Amino acid sequence: MELPCSVVVPRSYTQTFFVVDECGLHVRPASELVRIAVAYRATIAIVGDGGTADAKSILSLLLLGAVQGAELRVTVAGADAAEAMLALERARCLSTLHPSIQASRREANAAAD
Q: Domain segments of the chain: what residues? A: 11-112
- Superfamily of structural domain 11-112: HPr-like (3.30.1340.10)
Indicate the range of 44-48, 55-59, 60-64, 98-102 predicted with least confidence: 98-102
Other CB atoms within a 10 A radius of the CB of residue 104 amount to 12
* Phi, psi (degrees; rounded to nearest 5) at 39: -80, -5
Kindly list the strands in the beta sheet with 94-95, ordered across the sheet, starting from the edge strand earlier in the chain.
51-54, 43-48, 71-78, 11-19, 94-95
Catalytic residue among 13, 26, 77, 97: 26
Mark whether 26 is an active-site residue.
yes
Other CB atoms within a 10 A radius of the CB of residue 105 amount to 12
Over residues 79-113, the pLDDT tens digits come to 999 999 999 999 999 998 887 776 676 677 777 77
**Cβ pair 73, 47 in contact under 8 A:** yes
User: In the chain, what are the helix, strand and coil shares in percent, each to the nearest 5?
Assistant: 35, 25, 40
Over residues 18-51, the pLDDT tens digits come to 999 999 999 999 999 999 999 999 999 999 998 9
